[in-house]
Structure 1
């Protein structure tokens, strides 16, 4: 008689009805463990989590053009594929390289490019490299035509249609729509185009200048960083460069920036001690550590104003330079444009995955509590803190 629960020739039964092949099970798990690998440190392109997308999916979704593999072939974006090929043809002619040479360059970088995507890209090499090469050339041509309007042809369907170029500006700064910066820079250097900035300009400087010129037109950047302060080797992609432009440059390259020790949220709570009971503040502090629906919310701008707080616009160009002086709350000026919400949402998603310092998470948390009604908005507009 066989005793239930024992193993015979690798077979085991736990309930008398089903048998388990122990050897096969161990082999299956071991094979999966052997294939398991940690995401490489080069990872910088991520998929936005569902918890963020369900709030506002449009803020993370391309309107007109897919860049890279994550949205390639999606419904509604197919029309741009032929136009991207036209741009690629122009880039190839401008570079002086043959199609075979360009493909070879991409082939040599394939592993490095794939390592930039946190999720495994299940595409054959031929398909993957074609997407990267064509999309990279398209982006470079967009940047060049924005810098040199004379390159725009009469039948250019991108720049001759304002609504089209505005949608593309939106799409090129989505987290899921990024290409590794080193790919763009390397391909650009083959064009050997001198932008005429200065006699000492390198091709790396030239591409950074080209990119910053583009970012200035599509974002809420108030002041571009000094070119010498931007290290191309540390830039991951367009969205990463945009974030670096919006935070103090010295902090953007620090692992744990001084500006967030303590965080602006904590400083904000300290400021509120003058206007809220101690017990309420303890609940509020808990909310910042562990979000809770029962925690007491921070007063709005209108409520603080009624309690004696004065709002003044700061002269600082640093978006995060929020200062509390006596009963005065100084907040830097910010301009609200059509793409502002999408930009902030994508940067916050990027910060959650990639960055030690949650600059935009802190900033938007503060502003979210300050602004609850139209009157809150109007108060900050009158103080010239917000420009609509």
Structure 2
């Protein structure tokens, strides 16, 4: 039997031994709703979903330095904190602004900065703004030293240790290790640090020029994008800018074609497809014509998986069109085994800087896991159809088998010709003998 009554704490509902205070529950719910905040349009810095992190946690975790609030104070990163303060001191010495002015700028933008993070940042304002300022100055100082070697001091613990600057360069492009780009750009421009650019460089956005120089020097991009193509107001953070440098400039045409898987490089090769390295430096200029598949060269380093994983995680969390994910999927389909890698390396499509071809195939086998494709906006749908249409024609497979198995050396070709001649002569001789017998 259910009893209802009123206690001195308010209305209660009783069911056996369980009871609640309705007014307390209602008050608690209303307090939580009052504190609830909606994601802002600026939200673009995410914690990596566990489904990706569980595959390769190291790919999303800083090696040397935390940037921003998400990894601040994590174990193993403490050694770099003192050095960040040293860089901050150098940065302020170059600056023509008082520290109070920089802090005031951050204070005025605190709410906007917090809105860039998908996670609620529980740090108080003093600690939060201190982290943002010191880390932003640290990044600026790193980029300045990339730009001007003379700024590197003899006792620099970062640039005097090649393995250290390599790790930090990777850490600056982790999704969870980002600062809002407007903070980096505005703070840098407030300091009035003078930089010498080429005549054809724009002076309007010196921090972007610094960043692109870093991308080039650290082999993140193969060619510098045209600056007018980059809208500084649309850049979210470093990882977003790097993605903008990589993706194709032409707009994506949405198609209603059915999404198709594509055969591996070995299967395509056996069907007669030839692989050729493209002269284009854009990763997305993959073209199939006749029986030739042209692919821009891709260098595979130890850091390749880390970088691709973080861009893919960013696209999966934030981007409507997932260009880099789509590009990676093409390689995932082409590369199943070390034999596939061997074919692409021989064609110079892949430049392998890992220990062996198995490492490359394992890398791409891992990259394809848990990735969600938007097949309605997939960039390479046309390419998939062209490859499948060719592969399905059996005559191509038959011709390729003959060519690979019997005509791949001059001696084999010669032996086939000789065999054909002997067969013809034997037939003529048999025919002549038959005619003689009939006479």
CA distance in 2, matches of 1:301, 1:135: 44
2:294 pairs with one of 327, 330, 339: 330
Query: How far 1:189 moved relative to its partner?
Result: 0.6
**How big is each residue's C-alpha offset from its partner over 1:185-240, in whole Å with a ceiling of 9 and x where there is no partner?**
11111232332225686654211111000011224422221112211111111100
Q: For residues 40-119 of structure 1, what are the structure 2 equivalents within 5 Å? A: 40-119=40-119
Determine if contact 2:96/2:192 at 8 Å carries over to the other structure: no
Q: For residues 1-388 of structure 1, what are the structure 2 equivalents within 5 Å? A: 4=2, 6=4, 8=6, 10-13=11-14, 15-198=15-198, 204-251=204-251, 257-258=252-253, 261-262=254-255, 266=259, 269=260, 298-388=262-352
Determine if contact 2:95/2:193 at 8 Å carries over to the other structure: no
Determine if contact 1:265/1:365 at 8 Å carries over to the other structure: no
- Residue aligned with 1:387, SS: strand
Equivalent residue pairs, number: 349
Structure 2, unaligned runs of 5 or more: 353-439
- Residue aligned with 1:43, SS: coil
CA distance in 1, matches of 2:180, 2:17: 54
Determine if contact 1:323/1:331 at 8 Å carries over to the other structure: yes
**How big is each residue's C-alpha offset from its partner over 1:29-65, in whole Å with a ceiling of 9 and x where there is no partner?**
2222232222101011111111101111111111111
- 1:274 matched residue in structure 2: none
- 2:428 matched residue in structure 1: none
Shifted more, 228-237 versus 211-220: the winner is 211-220
CA distance in 2, matches of 1:97, 1:57: 40
CA distance in 1, matches of 2:5, 2:264: 67
Change (3 A) 1:126 1:335: same
Determine if contact 1:334/1:385 at 8 Å carries over to the other structure: yes
- Residue aligned with 1:193, SS: coil
- 1:281 matched residue in structure 2: none
Change (3 A) 1:309 1:248: same
CA distance in 1, matches of 2:258, 2:116: 32
Structure-2-length-normalised TM-score: 0.75
Q: Which has the larger radius of gyration?
A: 2
Change (3 A) 1:335 1:200: closer
Query: How far 1:333 moved relative to its partner?
Result: 1.6
- Residue aligned with 1:10, SS: strand
Determine if contact 1:219/1:339 at 8 Å carries over to the other structure: no
- 1:276 matched residue in structure 2: none
- Residue aligned with 1:249, SS: coil
Shifted more, 209-218 versus 237-246: the winner is 209-218
Q: What is the root-mean-square deviation in Å for CA atoms of aligned residues?
A: 2.1
